[in-house]
Amino acid sequence: MRLCFLVEERYRHDGMPREVIRQLSAWGHQVDVVRPGRSLMRMSDTVRAGSHDAWVLKTVSGGPGLTLLEAAAAVGLTTVNDARSIRGVRDKALAAAIGRGGGLP
């Protein structure tokens, strides 16, 4: 598999995702690491090319990686993390509205 990991600068040196990327590579998968806000690339071309089997995000709240993940999902690419779910749990007001809509007090 060819995977694209979107890793925010804050998590660049964390054990996760580094260890996950290392293990996937050891198993023979190709892992491309994109650092939102630090990597220079034409995201529109990368997303449009659809050359990755799946996209994975390790982000901070409101970080630029979430927008890139949404772009990949919007054109039908496979994302391991669902951008709508991430927004739903990161944004407290949105999480409260979703909870109330589901019957939570």
The whole-angstrom distance between residue 63's C-alpha and the CA centroid of its chain comes to 10
Per-domain residue ranges for the chain?
A: 2-101
Q: Which CATH number is associated with domain 2-101?
A: 3.40.50.20
Segment 4-20, tens digit of pLDDT = 888 888 888 888 888 99
Q: Which residues of 27-41 are buried (b: 16+ CB within 10 A; e: fewer)?
A: eeeebbbbbbeeeee
pLDDT at position 2: 92
In this predicted model, what pLDDT tens digit does every residue of 20-67 receive, in sequence order?
A: 999 999 999 999 988 877 766 666 666 667 788 888 888 766 677 888
